[in-house]
Amino acid sequence: MFNSLSDRLASTFKNLRGKGRLSEADVDATVREIRRALLDADVAVPVVREFAAHVKERALGEEVSGALNPGQQVVKIVNDELVNILGGETRRIRLAKNPPTVIMLAGLQGAGKTTLAGKLSKWLRGQGHSPLLVAADLQRPNAVTQLQVNGQRAGVPVFAPHPGVQSEFESATGDPVAVARQGVEEARQKLHDVVIVDTAGRLGVDSEMMQQAADIRAAINPDEVLFVIDAMIGQDAVNTAQAFNEGVNFTGVVLSKLDGDARGGAALSVASVTGKPVMFASTGENLDDFEIFHPDRMANRILDMGDILSLIEQAEKSWDKGEAERMAQKFADQEDFTLDDFLAQMQQIRKMGSMKKMLMMMPGAAGMRQQLENFDEREIDRVEAIVRSMTPHERVAPKIINGSRRARIAKGSGVHVSEVNGLLERFGQAQKMMKKMAQGGGIPGMPGMAGPGGFSGGARKGKQVSKGKKKARSGNPAKAAQELREAEERRANAKKALPTGAAFGQQQEDFDPSALNLPKGFEKFLGK
C-alpha cells in the first residue's frame, strides 16, 4: 500500500547521508521533497501542511544542530511525526463493565464491513471471548448470507432473524433497528460477552443512510462504533470520515484492503482529521489477515525500518512450542539435523502466513521488493512434496540419494531432477551450519563469530592468528619415545606450577565435570 511513499522518503533521506551539518537550505529542500511525497500519496493537504511545518521547526532547532548525525536525526523526526498523524498510541477495544460489549460497524458499501465482522469475531474468539454476530444489513443483496458464511468459517454464531434482500430486484422489508436490538438481547440471554452488529452501507453518503445508522446506535447504545474505510478510496476518505463522524460519532477507525497497491495516504489522514484513532487493519482476504494497528510500527514500515515486533508476535501465536522444545533438545544433544526436521520447520513457517508479508516486515525489505514480488509462495509446497517423496531412510541419511533415487523422487513429487538437486544442496549447507552452531563454533561467515569466514577475538578476517610451529617427531623409534617422555615431563612440571585455587578463591581439588552440564559424550575430552 505505502510502497510509493516509502520509496520517495528513502530517496529523500539518501541525500542527507554523509553531511556533518545541515544548512537551512538542506532542511528546506528535504521538507519540500517530503511534502511532495505525501501529496503524491494522497495525504490530505491540511495534514501535509501541519506535518511539514512540524518537521521543519524541529529540524532547524537545537535537536538537529547538536546531533552527531543530522541525517539520522531528521529521519527520527519524520518517524515521530508520522506516529503522531497515525494516532500516537495503540488503541484497544474498551470492554464493557457489564457484558455484553456491543460493537457497531459502520461505513460505505464495499468498504468490507461484513468481511471485517468475520475477521474481528475470529480475532476476539482467539482472545478468549465468545462473540455473537448480528446481521442488521438487510438492504445489500445476500449480505445476511455472506455474514452467516463468515461466521461459520470463524466458528462464531450468527443472529439473523430476517433473511434480508436476496437479489437486486427485491426491496428491503425488514427493520434493521429491531434486528440490532434483538441481537443484543439474544447475546445477553445466551451469555455472549461481545456483540458485533453489521449495518448497511450505501455507495455514497446520504441522509437516509446516516439516519438509519444513528437509529441503530441509539437503540443498542454501543460501547464501540468502528468506522470501516477502504484504504484505497483516495482523497474522498477524509470527507467520508468527517460525514460519518458527524452522523454516528464513531469511536475508532478500521482500515480495510491495506494490502492493495493503490496510494493509501488518504487513510493516514483519517486519524489526524477526525481525531479518532485507527484501531485495526485488514491486510488480506483470509479471516486471519487482521491485526491491531500500531502507529509506531506502521511508521517504521513506511520508513523501511521493519516491524520485528509484529513478526515476533505472529511467530509466538502460530509456533508449536512442543516442536520448538524438541528441536532445542536435539540441538543441545548435537544430534544430526535431518530432512524430517527440515520439513517440520518448513511447516511451522507456513503456519505463520504469507512468506512475502513476513519478509516485508524485515528492515531494509524495500531494497529487495522486486525479488519478493517474484517469490513464488508455492515453493514451500514443492519442497514438502520432494521431502515426502523420499523414504524414511533417505530423509535421515540423504548421502545415499544417488542418481536413480533422485530421478524417482523427482517423478514422485512432480518436479525436475534439478530441483531435487538444489534442495539437497541447500539442505547440506543448512545441516553444516546447524552442526557448527551445535558445537559452539558460531555461524559460518558471520563476522565476530567463530567459524569459517568469521573471526573470533583478535583474529581478523583474512588474517590467521600466528601459532608456534609444531616440532616434527623423529623417525627413530627410540628417539621418538625419548621425545615423548620429555614432552610429558614438561607438561607435568607446567601443571605443578599452576595455582590450585580458583579465580574467586575456591579450591578445585574435587572438580566434578558433570556439574558443567556439558553435551553428551563431551566427558571424554576432560581428564583429571
Give the annotated binding-site residues for GTP: 107-114, 198-202, 256-259
Four-residue CA torsion sign, 33, 37, 40, 43: negative
DSSP state, residue 254: E
The DSSP string of 264-317 is -HHHHHHHHHH---EEEEE-SSSTT-EEE--HHHHHHHHTT---HHHHHHHHHH
The strand order across the sheet containing 224-230 reads 158-159, 131-135, 194-198, 101-106, 224-230, 252-256, 278-282, 290-292
Four-residue CA torsion sign, 203, 206, 208, 213: positive
At 386, the amino acid letter reads I
Distance from chain centroid for Cα 363: 11
- Rounded Cα distance, 358 and 354, in Å: 6
Contacts of 75-82 with C-beta under 8 Å, sequence gap 24+, read 75/13, 75/16, 75/303, 78/9, 78/13, 78/34, 78/303, 79/299, 79/300, 79/303, 79/305, 81/51, 81/54, 81/55, 82/295, 82/298, 82/299, 82/302, 82/303
Which secondary-structure segment (H or E) carries 159? Answer: strand 158-159
At 68, the amino acid letter reads L
Count, residues in the chain: 528
The DSSP string of 185-201 is HHHHHTT-SEEEEE---
Q: Is 68 exposed, middle or buried (0-12, 13-18, 19+ CB in 10 A)?
A: exposed
Q: Is 389 exposed, middle or buried (0-12, 13-18, 19+ CB in 10 A)?
A: middle
Q: Which of 263, 267, 287, 291 is nearest to 277 (CA)?
A: 267
Distance from chain centroid for Cα 507: 51
Q: Which of 184, 198, 214 is nearest to 100 (CA)?
A: 184
- Rounded Cα distance, 137 and 148, in Å: 12
Q: Position of cell 446506535?
A: 217
- Rounded Cα distance, 234 and 268, in Å: 11
Question: Is the link from the previous residue into 176 a cis peptide, with omega within 30 of 0?
Answer: no
- Rounded Cα distance, 76 and 88, in Å: 15
Annotated binding site: 107-114, 198-202, 256-259
| Dihedral (Cα; 71, 76, 77, 78), 10-degree rounding | 90
CA distances from 375 to 35, 144, 332, 395 (A): 33, 38, 34, 26
DSSP state, residue 202: -
